[in-house]
Amino acid sequence: MTPLIETLPRIAAIGIGATLFMDAWLMLLKAFKIPTLNFALLGRWVGHMPRGQWRHAAMAKASPVSGETALGWAVHYLTGIAFAALLVAVVGTGWLASPTWRPAVLTGMATVALPLLVMQPAMGSGIASSRTPTPVRNCVKSLANHTAFGIGLYAAALAVSAIASI
């Protein structure tokens, strides 16, 4: 068993690496003029929470929050680390030394539940984007983004494992 002092930095590195991989995927989509996530709106949503407002009719129309872009990006990366920790909690710390693709990709795909069932409804888009003009397309894009994150979990875990074994 890997000591906690070694496990936590590995999990953080994997979460950050996977989130960077997802961000590279999002930049590729932007290059093809496919609209992607606006992390300022995530920051706006989180920024309203301490004020007691968790739900919004339309997040883009909610009043801006100071530092919302930086807050959104920070939450995005912290969420990536939390999802990496969830993966390791489910499959065990042995996976860190010998990562396999299936749990990583399945975890990435499962994480789509957070935006579809929590974030989108709270931001005014409805469950699974049901209040948007293109809910199926939006759900497919969300699943693709989170699958990219899962691939990133695996790629980052391979890199961290290789570095740790040096």
**Domain containing 153: what range?**
4-164
Domain count within the chain = 1
pLDDT at 3: 81
pTM of the model: 0.94
pLDDT tens digit sequence for 92-129? 999 999 999 999 999 999 999 999 999 999 999 999 99
For the chain, give the secondary structure using H, E and C. CCCHHHHHHHHHHHHHHHHHHHHHHHHHHHHCCCCCCCHHHHHHHHHHHHHCCCCCCCHHHCCCCCCHHHHHHHHHHHHHHHHHHHHHHHHCCHHHHCCCHHHHHHHHHHCCHHHHHHHHHHCCCCHHHCCCCCHHHHHHHHHHHHHHHHHHHHHHHHHHHHHHCC
pLDDT at 2: 57
